[in-house]
Amino acid sequence: MHIDLGKKTALVTGSSAGIGFSIARGLAGAGAEVVVNGRSEGTVAAAVDEIRQEFPDAVVRAAVADVSTEEGAERAVESAGDVDVLVNNLGIFGVTPALEITDDDWRRYFEVNVLAAVRLTRLLLPAMVERGWGRVLNIASDSAVVIPEEMIHYGTSKTALLAASRGFAKAAAGTGVTVNSVIAGPTHTGGVEDFVYQLVDRSLPWDQAQREFMRAHRPQSLLQRLIEPEEIANMVVYLASPLASATTGGAVRVDGGYVDSILP
C-alpha cells in the first residue's frame, strides 16, 4: 500500500512529543508538509529538527501556540496557512478520584480535550469544504468508551470528542472532506510512564511495572502490552490519505482490542 501525501499540508496539535510527534513524523514520511505545534518554542524547534534530520526532503514548520485558547488557535491557523489535514491530538489526562474532581478541573479538561479541537475544526473546515478535499482527525481514547474510575473527567471529555467528530462529519457530508476519530488504546509515552507509576509500585523496573499496570488496570487488553506511538500514527497516516476516502464519521480503533466490542 503506497500512501502519498505530497502537496498536502498537515497541522498536528500537541506534536512536539509523544503520539503527536509520531503522527507528525509519519505524515512527513508520507510526503506531507507538516506543521508541528506546541506551547514551547524550544521543544517545538527540537521536534522540527528531528523530523527534518530523518526526512531531509520534508517540509516541516513550527506553529508555537497554545491551541486550547481562542487566541492560540487563531495564531496556529495563521502560522499554518492552508491546511489539508488537521490532526487534533492535543490532550491532557491525570488521575483524580471521582468525587475530588473540581469544577475547574472539569472546565480545564473540556477546554483542552474538546474545545481546542472544536475551535480548530470550525476555523479550518470551511476552506477544506471549499477546496473539495480535506481530513479532520481527532485523537480520542478507549477511555471514551470504557470510562476509567480514576479519571472520569478525562474519559467524559473524550466521549464528547467522539460526538463532536460525528457531528462535524455530518456537516461535511458530500464535500470530499472526511472527519474521523481515532480511538487510541493504552499507549507507551513519557506521560503514560508517569501515569503508570501513579498506580503501581514505583520501585518496579519499567517492563515489570508495565506488565503489572496492564494486569491490574487494563486487563481487557488483547494485546497485553502498551501500544507504541508509531502504531497510532500508522492509522492516522492512512486515514489522512486519499486511500481512506470512504471512511468518515467513524471512530476507528487502535486500542489493542481493549474495548470489548465488535464495532467499529
Q: Looking at the annotation, which residues are catalytic?
A: 154
Q: What is the DSSP string of the chain?
A: -----TT-EEEETT-SSHHHHHHHHHHHHTT-EEEEEES-HHHHHHHHHHHHHH-TT--EEEEE--TTSHHHHHHHHHHH-S-SEEEE---------GGG--HHHHHHHHIIIIIHHHHHHHHHHHHHHHHT-EEEEEEEEGGGTS--TT-HHHHHHHHHHHHHHHHHHHHTTTTTEEEEEEEE-SB--HHHHHHHHHHS-TTS-HHHHHHHHHHHH-TT-SS-SPBPHHHHHHHHHHHHSGGGTT--S-EEEESTT-S--S--
